[in-house]
Amino acid sequence: MKLIIPVETRTLDASVCPSFGRTPFFALYDLETGGHEFLPNSAAESQGGAGIRAAQLIADSGAGAVVTCRCGENAAKVLNAADIKIFKAQDGSARENIEKFQKGTLAVLTHFHAGFHSGGAQS
């Protein structure tokens, strides 16, 4: 299975990006092989609905689980429909979070916020 994590820069030593929809990159990590790649987040520049587009990108990447600090309601709907599990990131780097995920010490994310950006409303 592949794990995907929003990261600030193209390295596993980068901290997990606090923004899900507008993270600059996603680290896609293969738990079987340890291989990994960094996907630029095309949703980051969205006028609105960035979470939905980011979730679409994750669904298209073939990841089975995402580790994130937070996640909006709409993005969660897409991830759930795609059968992708959502885990709560802990302080530290992407690499540390991958290790915690492998040990089974990351909790499932249960709180989904209503969105900070109003889904692109005309403000």
Partner 1 sequence: MNIAVLSGKGGTGKTLVSVNLACAAERAVYADCDVEEPNGHLFLKPEGRKRTPVTVTVPDLKPNLCTGCKRCVNFCKYNALAYVLDQLMIFPEICHSCGGCMLLCPAHALAQKEREIGAMEEGQSGTVATLTGCLNPGEESGVPIIKALMEKLPEEGTAVVDCPPGSACIVMESIRNADFCLLVAEPTLFGVHNLAMVYDLVRLFHKPLGVVLNKCLPEENPAEAFCLENGIRILGRIPFSEELGNLNSQGRIAVRENARYRELFQNLLKEVTKEAAL
Which positions lie near partner 1, rule CB under 8 A? Answer: 43, 46-50, 52-53, 55-56, 59, 74, 77-78, 81-83, 118-123
CB of 34 to partner 1, least distance (A): 27
CB of 66 to partner 1, least distance (A): 13
Contact (CB, 8 A) for 40 and 63: no
* 3-state DSSP assignment of residue 22: coil
Which CB atom, from 98 or from 115, has the smaller least distance to partner 1?
115
CA distance 39 to 27: 6
Contact (CB, 8 A) for 79 and 55: yes
Which CB atom, from 56 or from 93, has the smaller least distance to partner 1?
56
Which CB atom, from 100 or from 117, has the smaller least distance to partner 1?
117
* The residue to which tokens 């994590």 are assigned: 5
Burial class (CB in 10 A: 0-12, 13-18, 19+), 26: buried
Q: Beta strand pairing status for 85-88 and 25-30?
A: unpaired
Which CB atom, from 46 or from 90, has the smaller least distance to partner 1?
46
CB of 10 to partner 1, least distance (A): 24
CB of 76 to partner 1, least distance (A): 12
